[in-house]
Copies of this chain bind each other. A is one copy, B any other.
Amino acid sequence: MSVTIKDIARAAGVSYSTVSKALRNSPLVKEPTRKHIKKIADQLGYQPNAAARSLVSKKSHTIGIVWPTIERAAHSSLITSMNNRLEQLSYTSLISINEMEFAINVFNRYRVDAVLVFDDGSNQGLSPSKVPVVSYGIAESSPFVPTVDVQRRKAIYLAAEYLHSIGHTKISYFGVMDTPDVMQREKAKGFDLAVEKFKLEAFPTLHVPVSSLESYEGYLAAKKLMQQEVKPTAIISSSHDLTKGILRAFQELNVSVPEDMSFISYDTIPEVNELEVPISTVGVPLEIITEKLTEALMDVVVEHDSKENIIYLEPGLSLRNSCKPFT
């Protein structure tokens, strides 16, 4: 049986409401009384009952996170960062790896203050949720939910634009092409837009499709690419993991970046600095993403309806000397 404030009250010889106040540092209890109570609470190993607390306060100070099934590994650092940020705001995060609808139901029952979901393209019917939801995804695809959109399309477009501006016309895009995952589709779309706009060459390996964002996929695809007769002069990789694999392949094949190949990688995350070669990246820095996501969550927690439903984050280039002008 757990120890409750009543146990503490009995042990301290005060009423349980005094204990409650003392533990929450209310100015209504005298300093010595508070100290006394706190000491006893400590001795008994008191842990507040979240159920009772949230029942009366109607707030659980907890955020639910629905961990996406696809690319589970890829989101690991984002979730870790979210976890830390929320902790700093003294919010607790609880994760569910269940299918989204089920997970949201669970969080509903637990009356978490808000839920963070990852837009995998199936978010359409999210409206009947009682608990406020924030989506990390694509603005258009989850119309009824506040969404933080990092504009993947624009990011990739930006990368292509930059490469074109320094003279490249044969650019290969490494990415997942045929997928229900809207995030990946957006990236591919950004590339295609740039191809059209800048009249990039439509050589055979304009698109280098991979079946997932794992690094091994990038490795294999890069090896195959370099066996082709017509090679690109620049590459855009749609994820950090992919980039890792591609670079490994290049190392083996003695392709050096940027001398033999210009390179831009999506995902502006700290891990980029762990690569052997400095690689320019495009995208919204991870810490900015989680900062905005946290803000959005705090918004829906207090407002329950946030007016500004969609937050677009501007992707940018972080140049790190992996691109050489092509003449």
Chain B residues near A51 (CB, 8 Å)? Answer: 50-52, 54-55, 60, 110-111
When all copies of this chain in the complex are counted, the total is 2
Partner-binding segment picked from A88-96, A113-121, A226-234: A88-96
A128 touches B45 (CB 8 A): yes
Q: How far is the CA of A263 from the CA of B76 in the complex (A)?
A: 32
Q: How far is the CA of A195 from the CA of B79 in the complex (A)?
A: 42
- Chain A 246-265 residues near chain B, CB threshold 8 A: 248
Contact status of A94 and B96, CB under 8 A, knowing A51-B52, A109-B50, A248-B216: yes
A72 adjacent to chain B (CB < 8 Å): yes
Q: How far is the CA of A108 from the CA of B94 in the complex (A)?
A: 13
Q: How far is the CA of A108 from the CA of B83 in the complex (A)?
A: 18
Chain B residues near A96 (CB, 8 Å)? Answer: 92-95
A48 adjacent to chain B (CB < 8 Å): yes
A97 contacts which of B3, B80, B111 (Cβ < 8 Å)?
Answer: B80
Binding site for B on A (CB under 8 A): 2-3, 45, 47-52, 54-55, 60, 67, 72-73, 76, 79-80, 83, 87, 92-98, 105-106, 108-111, 128, 130, 215-216, 244, 248
> Could you give 6 example pairs across A and B, Cβ below 8 Å?
A45-B128, A47-B108, A51-B52, A52-B55, A72-B76, A92-B106
